[in-house]
Amino acid sequence: MPLIPGAEPMRHDGSQVGVLLCHGFTGSPQSLRPWALHLADAGYTVSLPLLPGHGTRWQDLEVTGWQDWYATVDRELRVLRDSCEQVFVGGLSMGGALALRLAARHGDAVSGVVVVNPACSFPRLEGYALPVVRHLVRSTKGIADDIAKEGSHELGYDRVPLRAAHSLRDLFRVACGELAQVTQPLLVLHSRTDHVVPPADSAHILASVSSEDVTETLLERSYHVATLDHDAERIFADSEGFISRIAAGKQARDRA
């Protein structure tokens, strides 16, 4: 199937500091492209892959699972490690869960983590029903476009395939079970009002990681897709400052 215009992946070759960005469930690189471009303009090497089943039609997502999505970002991380001295990982929503799992699994190969409205839980009632309902109903209404800023739009599916949603629930279970293995510096940016992911998810992540260098930023004017919302510039600036600080610190320690 052809890609939705604007959903294309992005790669920019820059400095020896690389950044891997992971988009959210049913979304596409479009939701993170302004962030990726900002980091590219700051001189970093940036990778923003398209996850399997995304950016085309929801039926394509139906036949993928979390192992496919994770394998893609895992492969991109390894590619960045081949060309960069330091690599940071970041993500929005489900992309935040993927980024945290990369940090947990790869240890010192990841220098730091930036997550925006990270997701790590599934609504209890829907979660209990999914194993049965996914065999009876193919899809439900979409979750894309939760944005406060007028005129801003997210390229995402208008339907959520329940088979893929069931796999998403499994991803959250796996990622949450590994949060204690996250030791890298961490920046968590989350919206006060989010109609997709509850604020409790960010609180749980902050309470569960083993990172000593942790920064929490509350986004007052944005909904879930904050990277396309009123607080986007703050996300871009804070993440650039975070990456610059951590990268410079490591370079200084290496020289010493």
Query: pLDDT by residue for the chain (256 residues), tens digit each?
Result: 789 999 999 999 999 999 999 999 999 999 999 999 999 999 999 999 999 999 999 999 999 999 999 999 999 999 999 999 999 999 999 999 999 999 999 999 999 999 999 999 876 445 445 554 555 566 888 889 999 999 999 999 999 999 999 899 999 999 999 999 999 999 999 999 999 999 999 999 999 999 999 999 999 999 999 999 999 999 999 999 999 999 998 777 777 6
Can 194 be counted among the known catalytic residues? yes
In a domain, 2, yes or no: no
Q: What is the DSSP string of 217-242?
A: EEESS--S-GGGSTTHHHHHHHHHHH
State both tokens at 228.
């396309």
Can 224 be counted among the known catalytic residues? yes
pLDDT for the residue 134: 52
In a domain, 4, yes or no: no
Q: Are 32 and 50 in contact (CB under 8 A)?
A: no
pLDDT for the residue 124: 45
In a domain, 78, yes or no: yes
pLDDT for the residue 128: 43
- How far apart, in whole angstroms, are the C-alpha atoms of residue 200 and residue 191? 11
Q: Quick check: helix, strand or coil at residue 149?
A: coil
pLDDT for the residue 131: 57
In a domain, 5, yes or no: no
In a domain, 220, yes or no: yes
Question: Residue 10, annotated ligand binder?
Answer: no
Report the domain count for the chain. Answer: 1
pLDDT for the residue 127: 43
- How far apart, in whole angstroms, are the C-alpha atoms of residue 250 and residue 241? 14
In a domain, 163, yes or no: yes
Q: Which one is catalytic: 145, 146, 194, 201?
A: 194
pTM of the predicted structure, to 2 decimals: 0.93
Q: Quick check: helix, strand or coil at residue 142?
A: coil
State both tokens at 220.
């007052």
Specify the pairing of strand 86-92 against strand 17-22. Answer: parallel
pLDDT for the residue 238: 98
Q: Which one is catalytic: 28, 31, 93, 191?
A: 93
CB atoms within 10 A of CB 18: 28
- How far apart, in whole angstroms, are the C-alpha atoms of residue 30 and residue 129? 31
Question: Residue 25, annotated ligand binder?
Answer: yes
pLDDT for the residue 255: 72
CB atoms within 10 A of CB 136: 8
Name the residue range of residue 93's domain.
10-255
Q: What is the CATH number of the domain that holds 90?
A: 3.40.50.1820
